[in-house]
Structure 1
Amino acid sequence: MADFNTVALEEATSADAPLLSNLLELYIHDLSDVFPGLHLGPDGRFGYDKLPLYWSERERRFAFVIRYDGRVAGFVLATRGSPAADNPDVLDVAEFFVLRRYRRSGVGRRAAVLLWQRFPGEWTVRVSEGNAGALAFWRGVVTELTGGAATETTRPGRPHPWRVFSFESAPERITP
Structure 2
Amino acid sequence: MFVRRVEPSDRALMERLWLLFRHDLSEFQGQLPAADGTYRSEWLEKVLTGDPEWAGYLIWTGENPVGFCFMRALQQPVHVLNAFFLVRPVRRQGIGLAAVQEVLSHHPGPCEVAFQANNAIAVSFWRRVGAAMSGDAWKEELRPIPGKPDAPSDSWISFEV
Q: Is this a same-fold pair by TM over 0.5?
A: yes
CA separation in 1, counterparts of 2:129 and 2:44?
A: 26
SS in structure 1 at match of 2:76: coil
Show structure 1 runs of 4+ deviating over 6 A: none
CA separation in 2, counterparts of 1:133 and 1:59?
A: 31
SS in structure 1 at match of 2:38: coil
Retained in 2: the 8 A contact 1:130–1:160? Answer: no
* Pairwise CA distance, 1:51: 1.9
Task: Say whether residues 1:137 and 2:125 are aligned partners.
Answer: yes
Task: Say whether residues 1:61 and 2:54 are aligned partners.
Answer: yes
Matched with 2:116 is 128
- Calculate percent identity across the aligned residue pairs: 26
* Pairwise CA distance, 1:119: 1.2
* Pairwise CA distance, 1:42: 1.4
* Pairwise CA distance, 1:89: 3.0
Task: Say whether residues 1:41 and 2:34 are aligned partners.
Answer: yes
Retained in 2: the 8 A contact 1:21–1:47? Answer: no
* Pairwise CA distance, 1:59: 2.0
Task: Say whether residues 1:71 and 2:59 are aligned partners.
Answer: no
CA separation in 1, counterparts of 2:72 and 2:6?
A: 14
* Pairwise CA distance, 1:55: 3.6
CA separation in 2, counterparts of 1:50 and 1:116?
A: 18
CA separation in 2, counterparts of 1:116 and 1:40?
A: 31
Q: 1:32 aligns with which of 26, 30, 33?
A: 26
CA 1:47–1:161: 2 relative to 1, 3 Å: closer
Q: 2:88 aligns with which of 90, 100, 104?
A: 100
Structure 2: 5+ residue stretches without partners: none
CA separation in 2, counterparts of 1:69 and 1:146?
A: 29
Give a deviation string over 1:97-148, Cα, whole Å, max 9, x none: 0110000001100001101111111100111112211111101121133112
Which has the larger displacement, 45-54 or 132-141? 45-54
SS in structure 2 at match of 1:77: strand
Which has the larger displacement, 137-146 or 51-60? 51-60
Q: Which amino acid aligns with 1:165?
A: I
Structure holding more helix per residue: 2
Task: Say whether residues 1:147 and 2:139 are aligned partners.
Answer: no
Q: 1:165 aligns with which of 138, 157, 160?
A: 157
